[in-house]
Amino acid sequence: MGGVTAAPLLQSDLPLAAAPMAGGPSTPALAAAVSAAGGFAFLPAGYLSAETFADRLAAAHAAGPSFGVNLFVPQSGEIPPEAYRAYREAIRPEADALGAELPAEPRHDDDAWREKVALLVAHPVPVVSLTFGLPDRADIAALQAAGSRVLATVTTPEEARAAEDAGVDGLVVQGPAAGGHNGTFDPRRTITDAATADVVRAVAAVTRLPLVAAGGVSGPVDVRDLVAAGAEAVAVGTLLLRATEAGTTPTHRAALTDPAFTTTAVTHAFTGRPARALRNGFAERHGAGAPYGYPELHHLTRDLRRTAALRGDPHRLHLWAGTGWRSAEERSAGEIVRELAAAL
């Protein structure tokens, strides 16, 4: 490996990070295993109440190894109530099939942004990464004044410029092959296919900020290519979904090895924001008709998706997966991370 390090941004022994995966897959055990293997672990704060986040933050600080925290930036704009109601009717048969609840009224919230920033200012971590756009400069500055390096997730050179202008210390460059939500600042933008290495090169051409690349990694050669393209480190999500320490639901895990799933696609049908998932029945039935509206659609389908996971129904669950999903293996996260560094 030639002593490659991820300094100065992540300061881990290996230039590899466990991407933040909110909603269950990222666990303290996964973070500990990745850190022990020399990688850097991101703890997702997304979807957590302020109280739960406070508990997880305290536990992570107590556990010792350096880690990062990932926050969802609040979204502006609310879905028109009639669009919400029409979509609620369209997906009612899905909920009825599972006995799940569909909230009657749209719910817009900021994912407890203020409280989470205040907790991070009071109990700082080395790295805070942001996704879904940029917050007020004052929030970035407050996190930096507390001692954190702040990273913005960007998906285009234009977003990279805006993030640099806002004063961040580095960028997570997320390619469209990435599993889970796309970090695009504009959720209505059509997500077109591109190799992550090409997005990294395009971003590196407009900024000198240090870059972490993410999206579509399927093995050590991809890691090597992303570093060669200009990334200081590479973050992987999908390849850790089947790790023994991950909190991925059994239904999601089973789908990742089910030959009935043959491709991934970007859809906003589950949450109102584009995300890459295994193409399943819900995405096929509702992908074309779904309105945009995050987090309202996230809340609308939440109980439906939770119930689908419990009932073992992969066709009504958001099966987040990047294009490298076939290479995800059921092994310890430490082994996965060490092997990913093998071509460096």
Ligand X SMILES: Cc1cc2nc3c(=O)[nH]c(=O)nc-3n(C[C@H](O)[C@H](O)[C@H](O)COP(=O)(O)O)c2cc1C
Q: Name the residues that contact ligand X, by CB under 6 A.
A: 19-23, 25, 44, 46, 70, 131, 153, 174, 177-181, 214-217, 235-239, 320, 322, 324
| Cis amide linkage into residue 81, ω under 30° from 0 | no
Choice between 155 and 307, CB closer to ligand X: 155
Cβ 179 to ligand X, closest distance in Å? 3
Beta strands 127-131; 211-214: pairing state: unpaired
Cβ 274 to ligand X, closest distance in Å? 12
Cβ 308 to ligand X, closest distance in Å? 15
Choice between 46 and 135, CB closer to ligand X: 46
Choice between 83 and 343, CB closer to ligand X: 343
Cβ 269 to ligand X, closest distance in Å? 16
Query: What are the Cα distances from residue 58, in Å, to 26, 67, 125, 151, 172?
Result: 16, 12, 11, 21, 25
Cβ 163 to ligand X, closest distance in Å? 14
Q: How far apart are CA 73 and CA 153, in angstroms?
A: 10
Choice between 30 and 32, CB closer to ligand X: 30
Choice between 38 and 216, CB closer to ligand X: 216
Cβ 253 to ligand X, closest distance in Å? 11
Cβ 66 to ligand X, closest distance in Å? 18
> Quick one: which of 244, 279, 250, 282 has its CA closest to 265?
279
Cβ 30 to ligand X, closest distance in Å? 12
Note the helical H segments in 40-181.
Answer: 50-63, 81-90, 92-98, 113-122, 137-145, 157-165
Residue 72 DSSP SS3: strand
Choice between 54 and 234, CB closer to ligand X: 234
> Quick one: which of 53, 170, 61, 47 has its CA closest to 117?
53
Choice between 207 and 323, CB closer to ligand X: 323
Rg (CA), the chain: 19
Q: What are 114's two structure tokens?
A: 């203020």
Q: How far apart are CA 333 and CA 84, in angstroms?
A: 40
Is-contact 37 14, C-beta < 8 A?
A: yes
Choice between 178 and 300, CB closer to ligand X: 178
The dihedral sign for the CA sequence 289, 91, 271, 283 = negative
Strands (E), the chain: 16-18, 40-44, 67-72, 127-131, 149-154, 170-174, 180-181, 211-214, 233-236, 264-267, 275-278
